[in-house]
Structure 1
Amino acid sequence: MRDQLLGGRYRLVRQLGEGGMGHVWEAQDETLDRPVAVKVISLLAGGGSRGDDARARFLREARITARLQHPNIVTIHDLGETGAGDNRVPFLVMELVRGEGLDAMLRGGGITLPDVARWGAQICDVLADAHDAGIMHRDIKPSNILITPSGMVKVLDFGVARAADPYATADRLTRTGFIVGTPPYMAPEQARGCPEPRSDLYALGCLLFELITGRLPFHALDTVGYLSAHLTQEPPTPSSVAEGIPPAWDDVVLTLLRKDPSLRYPDAAGLAKVLRQLEHAPAPAANASTLFYTEPDIPAALQPGEYVVVTSVNGDGTLRLWDPATGRPVCQPLTGHTGTVFRMAFSPDGRLLATGSVDATARLWDTATGRPVGEPLTGHTGTVEEVAFSPDGRLLATGSMDTTVRLWDTATGRPVGEPLTGHTECVAGMAFSPDGRLLATGSLDRTVRLWDPATGRPVGEPLTGCTGHVLRMTFSSDGRHLATGSRDWTVWLWNMDRGRPTGRPLSGHTATVWGVGFSLDGSLLASNSEDETVLLWETATGRLVDQALTAPANGHVGAVCSPDGLLVAATLEEDGTVQFWDLVTRQPFGQPLATRASLQVYMAISPRIRHRTRPWRGRLNRSVAGGDRVRWRQPRGSEQPSRRTAR
């Protein structure tokens, strides 16, 4: 089927996967000139009245499912049929999402309990919205859950299982021989042909059991054996199957696997709250100093679109993409801006780079080729001080010296709605919440404002209290906290549920705080400052953790936090050499980048750096915020930090 044109516009490029219902292809939408995913539902091929009815029902069900709009659901763009007569086959056109399926991750091992809790909560968010709309998934399983490079869940095939049932009438099976769903994950009532929303929660329970233990709750030789087990057998306790599983996980999983749906969690929203509590529960450990951290894992061979570092040097508007595994640049310099590029951001899938410049424009670049995507984004009348992608990559927000924020459609490069106005001075910081439902902006007017990106309207009252300019900002992975850096030398933590600070500002820097970033689990917060230090904070207590990281002699240091929570610092030597460091382990990774910069280097790191989470039993040297710090000296470094300006 390669190179076949479906629907007169979707040209098949390469097959991505194959399942029981059909094949998934990467394709090129020749009308909009963008890559998409196409699922050809070969299960519904064939003629006769039954085949015609099945295809018609599939198209109808797919249109209903396409109404679901959620950042964790793979969006359906289009649907149609290919072939003619008795050989007609339906196909779905969806957004092309880069990532790894949970089935592949299970084979690789190394999934941690916080990962499982975070991903499970995101799946629950999807199910809650769908169930409220009267739609069930019916086929929750590892191969239908994709984890993007930024750590975001994408649920696949929503509604396809029911739509593909050739014998379904309303919500029941009317004939034997066809099963809607996958037997190893199928709820007892679904096996009987009477699924309900809590059937999806049962399937999620099977999935969670498999993720935390490495095996399914039941083993069988065939479909009949699995269905019999779901109907008659009690599952084992997860902690009896694998070591190190806390009792709270046993309770959650066994509750989901109750035979009677009424004894499970009442809804997905309530389960999401439980899982988020588990995500932030203390990790089981032999001693109190055990900490789980994410370690940089740079692929040995990068493929197009996987370049992970970009730098802007010397104020001429030129950018470079680098392979940190070798320390070498890739492709030609990115040129087009006519002024310094201060801020850069990679899209969640790493395929796009956004840049903002003194020349009052923003630009989008293809990271695989280094070429610009579309025309410059124009409309601001002052320096573009900040750029930020929405979690699904569809929107780009730009903040400017002209006091406004603009939203752009990344697929078309066109503005979305009117500029967001309300700040009275330069907009210097922006961040989308992890669910994409909020956009936070910070300004030199000392306020933080919240916006609904879907409507462009403000949400609540401005957050006030900062005594200095509000600069960079970031959300915690659960969206409950916002951290902001300020020109008053402090870091502010804001409670998003209450719309106010969580406590007193974190004090320890002796100059403007230019950057902040949370760890993956939200327990740590990194901040870097014009005082040429990077500090690591314990989020819950506001205390400093371990030693400060300082700049080399006559050089610079800055925090460059990846989108999925890896706390990374980059040091710049006097000769323009950049080295990356893991802030938790204090170990370098990758090869130095020979930028040969004579001025400050501005940089960003993409989500294409993968991570491994593992226990670290190092010693945490804690001191109260604002107390004495022990500076950590790097090779060829100096104990005296430089006072040169850093952004």
Structure 2
Amino acid sequence: MIEPASPEFNPTSPSKVGRLERACDRFEEAWKAGQRPTIASFLTDQEGQEHPFMLRDLLVLDIAYRRRTGERPAPEDYLRHFPTDAAVIDSAFAEASAELKECKAPSFIGFPGPVPAIPGYTVLCELGRGGMGVVFKARQQGLNRLVALKMILAGDLAGPEAAARFLAEAEAVARLQHPQVVQIYRIGDHGGRPFLEMEYVAGGSLADRLDGTPWAARDAARLIESLARAVQHAHSFGIVHRDLKPANILLTIEGLPKLTDFGLAKSLGADVGLTQTGSIIGSPSYMAPEQAEGGRRAVGPAVDVYALGAVLYEQLTGRPPFKAATVLQTLEQVRSAEPAAPSKLQPGLALDIETIVLKCLQKDPQRRYAEAEALAEDLRRFSAGEPILARPVGALERGFKWARRRPLIAALSAASVLSTVLLTVVLAITNVIISQERRQILESLGRERLVKEELVQTNNRIAQQQQQTEVALQGKIKALEERTDDLFRERQSSYYQRISLAEDEHRGGRIGRAEQVLDACPPDLRGWEWHFLKRFLNTGPITLRGHTGEVWDAAFSPDGRTVASASFDLTAKVWDTATGRERHTLRGHTARLYSVAFSPDATRLVTASADQTAIVWDVSRGRKVHVLKGHTNNVRCARFSPNGRWIATGSWDDTIRIWDARTGETVRVIPTGAGQITRLTFSPDGSWIAVGGTSSVAQVWEFATGRLIQTFRGHSEHVLSVSFSPDGRRVASTSGSPGGGAGVVKIWDVASGREVLAIDHPPGILERVAYSPDGLRLATSGWDGTVKLWEAESGLEILGLHSHSGRVWGVTFSPDGGSLISAAADGTVVIWDSNPPDRGKPRSAAPTVGE
């Protein structure tokens, strides 16, 4: 089915949405059956707000099918039938035009019908084709995701050898799991021809970006470095690509490269190939000399290193290293000619990047980089401004290469040089014998030489002294830098001590003394805690009262204007942070609430409850939108993805469920093995989900695939909370002992799984942890009734906040980092604000509100 446009609207019931979808399906089936259905006949029973949405979907379908038959439909064709729907018609044509720009014109040569009807897929258009296969853009209907379908063309190219090579590509890529390799989701068969369901990469190929304009050296180096690490990953599995070229390097929208088309890949050590003896495999301008020779010569990982160098050469100079009028001439250049130095084509090019390129393009595979990883490391060194390991080709080596290519000319040149040397010797002897004066002159020159040698020795001593002085100076500079770092740490430690002293003075009622201590803090070190205490001395925190049970969780809206809270009294409440007034009380759960979170656009809330459900609410109306059912135990947490399109829930049934936020339908279920899940959260970019559970481990899962990325082991008690750092590189987790042992915060490095820092917090359980938006601080809440702030890098305690009379269950920062909220067992929510009261955001006169 062609993907119709679907404008966003709020349907009044699921049955109406189903009716719209069924009508579109019947309309498309009529087109496929060879009929020419009329739009009006499918709109007869549509009234009210459904009419424009149904009309737009049917218009997009009709425009697409008419274009496939060669017609050129225009808005005027439809205005005659729907004169009052001009805006809807314009919107449909804009949607259809956008789809046409993204794909190439549909072309399905070799297939039985105008569109290959593959069960389970909606084929949208053709993306491209090569000598053996064709690639379509399609939508996988089960998961509603865009994919690329690669199929063998019909005719002679669909024979056994093509099918075997096609399946060999699938087998090769299936063994690789690397972010820079296009992934294969599924291998299938359609009409007797195999096809691959592959990852869809939307940015086109590198060949589309290479227009003859040289790239900046560091941009080119970073791209090839990333590819070289992907190639090394393939080599570690014994797979050589053998056809690396710009057309086989796809780019994401962000410009990240991905390798594709492993149709010519070869397993190292395999003696059986898919090509005939003597055939040449690869693309001439990018193939290594040993490939260009054909035959049985060993083709190993070095050919991929050569190809990476050829692509890098083209990026730096605007042209490949070898490109002749014909394929045979190009192959001859590859075998026998040396590439022009990139700096001759691009003056001013750095010597290091030229050295890297020319090392990759060595004719002898033994003289190239030993492996792709070594190439990647040299490119990293170049990008970082560090010395590279490769060395330029010297004049002597260039001479040997020239002699190997032209042995006859080299032999004649050597004979000529030898004759010249002999003649020179004879003349020298003759001159010595004939002239005594020449001997005297030579003696005089000898004396001058001694004087010069003494001068050279003196200069060397001076240079050595200068070097020693420079080394001593560098040592002093390093010591000074270390001392500067020590002084900064001392100043920072003194600052934290002043913050602690100001807090103590305030708690003792000595407001004036607290003000003096704060004013003495260096201005360049003043952070959230300083501004908070400065404001707190005069106004105190804002306390929201209204719940009749323990408040388990509280959350800021993305704009910071609203706070939502979830309570054991079976309700969630929405509060105005400017006035402290309650906007809505949300009732619908039948058991205690554990979690509340806003959508990124602040229009919706999701709550999680012990009644085994999560509910999505309309914030402005205070009404239910979806009830998410499917878990078989308490739902302890629910979060929107950063793009707002998905919802993740975690339950005591040991699963994560992913829901479509628009429809409320389950998309994926992930059994975690983490025990009863206590908390989950998305990474800032939405690619990962962090989870904590009763099995004393924290985990990180890949959202797109449901694959476990990392497991953090080190807690001895239940993991009660997890929080990503703003850059997504670290995860903080908390645990503690109900028996009174120390609570613990642990900081983990996501990439390595290594524990970076551990913070002990006696006594009791640390319930929740949250990173500040700038990543410099951590906030924790615990069973001791306090909220504490910590320095994220060192783990030093900065500040303790005391306002609750019971256990503090939840804590989180506002999106701008200016405020902090805490939720506690005493039934209150406290807003700890560091912003001055005159910043344009009104506050109620009393610090305690909601009663």
Q: Give the TM-score of the pair, scaled to structure 1.
A: 0.55
Q: Is the 8 A contact 1:341 1:357 kept in 2?
A: yes
Q: Which residue of 2 aligns with 1:37?
A: 148
| Partner of residue 175 from structure 2, selected from 45, 57, 67 | 67
Once residues 311 and 3 of structure 1 are traced to their aligned partners in structure 2, the CA distance between those partners, rounded to angstroms, is 47
Deviations 1:565-623 (A, max 9, x none): xxxxxx99xxxxxxxxxxxxxxxxxxxxxxxxxx999xxxxxxxxxxxxxxxxxxxxxx
In the other structure, the counterpart of 1:590 is none
The one-letter code matched in structure 1 to 2:206 is L
Q: Deviations over 1:87-127 (max 9, x none)?
A: xx442221233444322333497954443333322212222
Alignment pair present for 1:180 and 2:281: yes
Offset, 1:244? 5.0
Counterpart-to-counterpart distance in 1, 2:696 and 2:777: 18
Give the match for residue 249 of structure 2: 145
1:46 match: 156
Distance 1:174 1:245, change over 3 A: same
Uncovered stretches (5+) of structure 1, i.e. residues with no partner: 284-308, 323-331, 453-457, 475-482, 493-504, 513-529, 533-554, 559-570, 573-598, 602-635, 639-643
Q: Which one of 374, 396, 402 corresponds to residue 667 of structure 2?
A: 374
- Taking the aligned partners of 1:52 and 1:255, their CA distance within structure 2 comes to 39
Q: Aligned in 2, Cα 1:233/1:354: closer, same or farther, shift over 3 Å?
A: farther
Q: 1:52 to 1:376 in 2, by over 3 A?
A: closer
The counterpart of 1:211, out of the listed 302, 315, 326, is 315
User: Residues 136 and 200 of structure 1 are in contact (CA less than 8 Å); yes or no, is this contact kept in structure 2?
Assistant: yes
Please state how far the C-alpha of 1:69 moved relative to its aligned partner.
Answer: 2.6
Q: Which moved more, 1:399-408 or 1:210-219?
A: 399-408
Q: Residue 816 of structure 2 aligns to which amino acid in structure 1?
A: V
Summarize the Cα distance change of 1:66–1:390 in structure 2 as closer, same or farther, 3 Å threshold. Answer: farther
Q: How does 1:202-601 map to 2 (within 5 A)?
A: 202-243=306-347, 245-281=349-385, 314-315=563-564, 317-321=597-601, 346=642, 353=646, 364=658, 374=667, 384=679, 386-388=681-683, 396-399=689-692, 404-406=697-699, 410=703, 422-423=714-715, 424=717, 426-430=720-724, 442-443=733-734, 445-449=744-748, 462-464=755-757, 485-487=777-779, 490-492=791-793, 505=794, 557=816
Distance in 1 of aligned mates of 2:217 and 2:799: 38
Q: Distance in 1 between matches of 2:169 and 2:132?
A: 15
Label 1:356 to 1:261 Cα distance change in 2 as closer, same or farther (>3 A). same
Question: 1: CA distance between counterparts of 2:245 and 2:320?
Answer: 11
* Cα gap change, 1:198 to 1:384, in 2 (>3 Å): same
Report if the CA contact (8 A) 1:386-1:400 is conserved: no
1:56 aligned partner, one-letter code: A
1:33, CA displacement in angstroms?
5.2
Offset, 1:386: 2.5
Which structure is larger by alpha-carbon Rg, 1 or 2?
2
Give the drift of 1:198: 0.6
1:258 and 1:270 map into 2 onto residues whose CA distance is 15
| Kept in 2: contact 1:80–1:90 (CA 8 A) | yes
Identify if the C-alpha distance between structure 1 residues 345 and 59 changes in structure 2 by more than 3 Å, giving closer, same or farther: same
Q: Does 1:17 align with 2:128?
A: yes
Question: Is 1:190 paired with 2:291?
Answer: yes
| Count of aligned residue pairs for this structure pair | 445
Contact 1:384 1:401 (C-alpha < 8 Å) held by counterparts: no
**Is the alpha carbon distance of 1:385 and 1:11 closer, same or farther for their aligned partners in structure 2, counting shifts above 3 Å?**
closer
Bigger fraction of residues in helix: 2
Q: Quote how far apart the aligned CAs of 1:223 are.
A: 2.0
Stretch deviating more after TM superposition (404-413 or 115-124):
404-413
Q: For 2:385, what is the secondary structure of its paired residue? A: coil
More strand by share: 1
What is the DSSP-based 3-state SS (H/G/I as helix, E as strand, rest coil) of the residue aligned with 1:250? Answer: helix
**Equivalent-residue separation in structure 2 for 1:192 and 1:230 (angstroms):** 9
Structure 2 matches for 1:79-90, cutoff 5 A? 79-84=187-192, 89-90=193-194
Work out the CA distance in 2 between the residues paired with 1:637 and 1:254: 62
Task: Measure, in 1, the Cα distance between the counterparts of 2:293 and 2:333.
Answer: 13
Aligned twin of 1:541: none
Q: Is the 8 A contact 1:446 1:466 kept in 2?
A: yes
Q: Structure 1: how far apart are the matches of 2:199 and 2:282?
A: 23
Matched residues in 1 for 2:237 and 2:293: separation?
24
Report the residue type matching 2:376 in the other structure: A
1:101, 1:143 within 8 Å by CA — same for their partners in 2?
Answer: yes
CA contact (8 A) 1:385 1:401 kept: no
Do the aligned residues in 1 keep the contact of 2:342 with 2:349 (CA within 8 Å)? yes
The structural deviation recorded for 1:378 is 9.5
Percent identical among aligned pairs is 29
Give CA-to-partner distance per residue, 1:398-428, whole Å, 9 cap, x none.
Answer: 3479965355574687x96998664345433
Aligned equivalent of 1:128, options 232, 257, 266? 232
Residues in 2 aligned to 1:317 and 1:263: alpha-carbon distance in whole angstroms? 59
Q: Are the counterparts in 1 of residues 680 and 690 from structure 2 also a CA contact under 8 Å?
A: no
Name 1:5's counterpart in structure 2: 117
Q: How big is the shift at 1:277? A: 1.8
Change (3 A) 1:311 1:52: farther
What is aligned with 2:75? none
Instruction: Say if 2:273 is the partner of 1:170.
Output: yes
Q: Does the CA-based 8 Å contact 2:169-2:264 persist in structure 1?
A: no
Query: Cα offset for 1:207?
Result: 1.0
**Structure 1 position 4, deviation (Å):** 2.3
Q: For residues 92 and 341 of structure 1, do their structure 2 counterparts lie closer, same or farther at Cα, with a shift above 3 Å needed?
A: same
- CA shift for structure 1 position 136: 0.9
Worse overlay, 218-227 or 121-130: 218-227
Q: In the alignment, is the contact (CA less than 8 A) between 1:238 and 1:250 conserved in 2?
A: yes
**Contact in 2 for aligned 1:404/1:427 (Cα 8 Å):** no
How far apart are residue 260 of structure 1 and its match? 1.1
Distance 1:259 1:251, change over 3 A: same
Q: Distance in 2 between matches of 1:314 and 1:320?
A: 14
The alpha-carbon distance between structure 1 residues 18 and 201, as it changes in their structure 2 partners (threshold 3 A), is same
| 1:55 and 2:163 matched | yes
Name the SS of the counterpart of 1:15 in structure 2: strand
Closer, same or farther: CA 335–269 of 1 in aligned 2, 3 Å: farther
Rounded Cα–Cα distance in structure 2 between residues aligned with 1:382 and 1:208: 48
SS of the residue 1:161 aligns to: coil
Deviations 1:166-222 (A, max 9, x none): xx963875255xx42222211111111243211111110011122233332233233
Q: 1:57 to 1:144 in 2, by over 3 A?
A: closer
Contact 1:4 1:11 in 2 (8 A): no
Q: How far, CA to CA, are the matches of 1:242 and 1:637 in structure 2?
A: 56
Letter in 2 for 1:46: D
What secondary structure does 1:235 align onto? coil
Q: Distance in 1 between matches of 2:799 and 2:376?
A: 40
Amino acid at match of 2:292: A
Query: Does residue 137 of structure 2 align to residue 26 of structure 1?
Result: yes
CA distance in 2, matches of 1:264, 1:351: 49
- In 1, the alpha carbon distance for the partners of 2:213 and 2:650 equals 43
Is the 1:362–1:384 contact (alpha carbons within 8 Å) kept by the matching residues of 2? no
